[in-house]
Structure 1
């Protein structure tokens, strides 16, 4: 490989960009699960990625100063505008994946425009439900950071540093709060964002803080038997998934940094693995659940009355597909369940795992 192209592909953060065949040298034993997964699952083709990025969500970036959908119904406030705008984040990730496959300067240039527009326009709210979709922007930066124009790279880095440290500060300030948003699914999404941010910044100190927050969330959010606290409050597997997905994304980011978080344990022995095992009988169809039948949360009842999909009726096991695809990166034994729920892995997995 020519030295210039090698530099562009590998970049300054080598672990993220190398082919998984090199991983046994870098990460053992967790890398073995990743390498085995990549040998069994077909990544998106270059043609498929190029076809995807040829159809942007809008004619131009849809950057807005604030994204807000939390606590609102469709057509209320800026819900619809926000929902449309945040499609840019997954598009940015797709652009980064397509560039990684092709090294096409035009794709990188297009991504640069999106990054610049968003980091110059957006004002962080530190609402993790509104901002959880920024994982697409973070992933795009991480995939391409060594090749980005210096000004874009530094602006985006500063934005992600402000996001990561800001969330960590707010978590520290509210560590002893009794409000449930500091221990339920909201906190899981905060943990995801700070871990993805720390990994994208390649900042060991911030990653250590994220790990401590992750362990605190195990203590607060997952019971000894693996049941997630959101289940008792909302009587819905929807929120079990919604709380576990971000924790798994955090564990995947830590995995790329050579750390194994799936078996980190809280005070009572709870872990991501115990939560996955608790959910698995429902994912496998051995158990069923009527969603939100006895929820204690008024907004869930409002959404059910408004006819929002998924807030009534029997839980659909396929909703756990992303949970078990994420888990399969960390432990190949979850691959069978993931494939049964959805034979095609989510495209973001390739950006999160760099499996090509």
Structure 2
């Protein structure tokens, strides 16, 4: 297996403060290329400066680890969820330190990240709920990137804990075939690659194809969209699939991710087709009114609680698809045309830190 570093894609959250950034992998040569981009592009340098400033600003903080996460199924106004979100800000800090370490190789960031990783590994009890445990993505990948700064005993502790998370995910009953499943697949597959569990890896590969077969449709819609009548859920269900495909590409170096991105089920559904379905909404050619025909009671409860994002008829905001198209551009550069429309920036080579990372990954 090639030496890799997992990167967290730092983007602004769309729905709640507890949303986490997605990840892509960079090989050693891609890491070097990222540093080259930063040194030669004024736009990339400006974006990096903001990341570095944020990372330095967190160095005086201490972890706020939890035994349990209270998030999935709770209203945004629930006190337990609000408290959980305060603790999950640890993941934002880990993401910032990971970026800073990646570019500078400064052990200061690794030592600080290690205190957070060990705090959570010694406190949190895995449940197997993929909506909740998906929040650990920055922690999981920070460990992979900074693993050499952990002692053998510490590595054993963290990897045992990660294995417990994956095993709990596998044992969780009745995972629905929607964004729950895509997050579960991503967690199990990524942990399998990190800790060297081939069974977890196989589960992810087989699970991806089964998901495409059963939950993505020929017209580009998804089970998420048909259940929630929300483009935001359609997009959030696709992003873990894209991330998993990219992760497989980077770990395995066999272009298996590209095959998954283009894999079509017997009816014609595919990840590519479901990404393409969003294009006219991202370009403003179509408008989708969210939640109007949702079949999920929680969505109606959120609307009744007065949460603005969940009000039926709320127009889907094209900007919410930006990260999905950035991820998809790893497989097809034609999505850059959509991104240029979303950012309204045709003159800059890089308009987000995310775009810098994707450029490095595509080398």
CA offsets 1:78-136 (integer angstroms, 9 cap, x no match) = 10111111121232122122112222222111011001000000011111111111111
Aligned to 1:336: 337
From 121, 124, 139, give the equivalent of 1:122.
Answer: 124
Q: What residue ranges of structure 1 are gaps of 5+ in the alignment?
A: 1-9, 24-34
Q: Measure how far apart 1:66 and its partner are.
A: 0.9
The 5 Å alignment of 1:308-319 reads 308-312=307-311, 313-319=314-320
Check the 8 A contact 2:114/2:143 in 1, yes or no. no
Q: Measure how far apart 1:208 and its partner are.
A: 2.1
The 5 Å alignment of 1:1-356 reads 12-13=3-4, 16-20=26-30, 42=44, 47-56=49-58, 59-170=61-172, 181-257=175-251, 258=253, 259-260=256-257, 261-312=260-311, 313-342=314-343, 344-345=351-352, 347=354, 350=357
Give the Cα separation in 2 of the matches to 1:169 and 1:348. 36
Give the Cα separation in 2 of the matches to 1:205 and 1:352. 31
Q: Measure how far apart 1:219 and its partner are.
A: 1.7
Q: What residue ranges of structure 2 are gaps of 5+ in the alignment?
A: 6-24, 346-350
Give TM-score, length-normalised by structure 1: 0.81
RMSD over aligned Cα, in angstroms? Answer: 3.2
CA offsets 1:296-321 (integer angstroms, 9 cap, x no match) = 21211111222223213111111111
Give the Cα separation in 2 of the matches to 1:135 and 1:309. 27
How many pairs align?
A: 326
CA offsets 1:194-243 (integer angstroms, 9 cap, x no match) = 12222333444422221101111112211122211121221111111121
Give the Cα separation in 1 of the matches to 2:245 and 2:224. 20
Check the 8 A contact 1:44/1:347 in 2, yes or no. no
Structure 1 or 2: more strand by fraction: 2
Task: Extract structure 1 runs of 4+ deviating beyond 6 A.
Answer: none
Q: In structure 2, do the counterparts of structure 1 residues 151 and 126 end up closer, same or farther at CA, with 3 Å as the change threshold? A: same
SS in 1 for 2:265: coil
CA offsets 1:297-350 (integer angstroms, 9 cap, x no match) = 121111122222321311111111111011112222212223432464465984
Give the Cα separation in 1 of the matches to 2:356 and 2:80. 29
Give TM-score, length-normalised by structure 2: 0.80
Give the Cα separation in 1 of the matches to 2:167 and 2:332. 30
Give the Cα separation in 1 of the matches to 2:160 and 2:359. 21
Check the 8 A contact 2:66/2:120 in 1, yes or no. yes
SS in 2 for 1:307: coil
Q: In structure 2, do the counterparts of structure 1 residues 351 and 317 end up closer, same or farther at CA, with 3 Å as the change threshold? A: closer
Give the Cα separation in 2 of the matches to 1:289 and 1:232. 13
Q: Which moved more, 1:337-346 or 1:155-164?
A: 337-346
